[in-house]
Amino acid sequence: MAAIARQIALSVLGAINDSNVTLDHLLTRAFEQKPQLIQRDRALVTQLVYGVLRWRSRLDWVIQHLARSPFHKIDPLVLNIVRLGLYQILFLSRVPVSAAVNDSVELAKRRAPSWVVGFVNAILRSAAQRKNEIPLPDYNDDPVAAIVIQESHPAWMVKRWVKRMGVEDAKRLCKANNEIPPVTVRANTLKVSRERLGESLSAHVNKIRQTRFAPEGLILRGLRQSIREMPAFQKGWFQVQDEAAQLISYLLEPKPGEMILDACAGLGGKTGHIAQLMKDSGKITAVDYQARKLSELKAFMTRLDISSVTTLRHDLAASIPEKLAETFDRILLDAPCSGLGVIRRNPDIKWKKQAEDLARLQSKQQRLLAGVARLVKKRGLLVYCVCSFEPEEGEKVLEDFLKSRNDFAIDALSAGREEICGPFVDRSGIFRTLPHEHDMDGFFAVRLRKVAP
């Protein structure tokens, strides 16, 4: 079945280039189409896809050294076949070289003429023999080029991070982005305590520890079965959610009985947490413009046994419903962004985003923030956040907003939130997490209080 796993991985890698669908969704769809695939082979598919995406520019560097044809003339399908085989040879010690080469050659035979099959075979066999001889760019000669290849990131990202953080921090960030993150979950305290959840999961996970800052979080390593097959998941005892994302709901600080707007709810990870913090008492309106996401959000709320959430399909970037003006006690705006803070969980982002995207996204973020601010009650709270640490999407959006809305001001943490979120909030009131500093996803967030009518 390993050969089938490699076929599926190749299909997913091809689909990433041709669609805007998320990597998670592509893998879920692929597994639904192959229900007979056992857990071990599903894990191999995931490892191959994520591995190739994490190390793509290193793999391509090796291919350029070994191929006689110009790199840009290699067909994308053939390139992905070679990347898959090469990743296994260079990074997976448990996969025999013969299996990596032979299965790659078989993939080529199904899709390409015989001369291409010979090309794939020659590159991979040469890589197996010469893998320790191929020179990589030296940090002393060109730090940016060295990070681009050795840590496998696009040049535009590395250049901007080196300029802002310096070589060493940029290198550490790229290294952190390529590490396999743990699975972090949030106990649904409407149903179970974190301690009881940990006891329940111990039979299905090799290592469990509590998150350091988020009060309901558990960090899982070495899953023995898929998350969705675990009895505790099926009973709604937990939700998968990174620790940084869990802290965002604490910044919002929702209270039982309040009216809350989750303005870009997506699949509802933070929606469920907000409901949990409100003891499922009050009303949460979860807005998104994609019907598919809202459908999945409703299913999540049902599994978690949450009844305080209603959904609204609407594009708040296009228009703001006047009837909702000054309706909400608190609003969470988890705005669409580049996602550069979550690359370790979504390595396809490295190759999909361009520097020009930041300006486009900033414009949308500014429109959204200005729009939802009209929906906050007097003395209400608005939390703006993005899973990115780029200034265009964080500080500059905030600066623009405060210039135009002097009825809002950055709000200090309450005493009850200081211990949980305080370590990540600077003197100006801005919340930041970084993968290489905190072993969490990268977020920017800020609490904004409506201080005047």
State the catalytic residues: 387
Task: Read off the amino acid at residue 43.
Answer: A
How many Å apart are CA 202 and CA 204, to the nearest integer? 5
* Tally of CB atoms within 10 A around 373: 21
3-state secondary structure of 385: strand
Q: What are phi and psi of 410, to 5 degrees?
A: -65, 135
User: CA torsion angle for 79, 83, 85, 89 (degrees, to 10)?
Assistant: 150
Task: Read off the amino acid at residue 179.
Answer: E
Which of these, 162, 244, 167, 234, lies nearest to 424 by C-alpha position? Answer: 244
What single-letter DSSP state applies at residue 95?
S
How many Å apart are CA 394 and CA 443, to the nearest integer? 9
**Cβ–Cβ < 8 Å for 367, 397:** no
How many Å apart are CA 185 and CA 193, to the nearest integer? 13
The single residue listed with the structure tokens 């905030």 is 398
The single residue listed with the structure tokens 């301690």 is 195
Tell me which H or E stretch contains 398. helix 395-404
DSSP per-residue string spanning 360-382? HHHHHHHHHHHHHHTTEEEEEEE
**Cβ–Cβ < 8 Å for 118, 69:** no
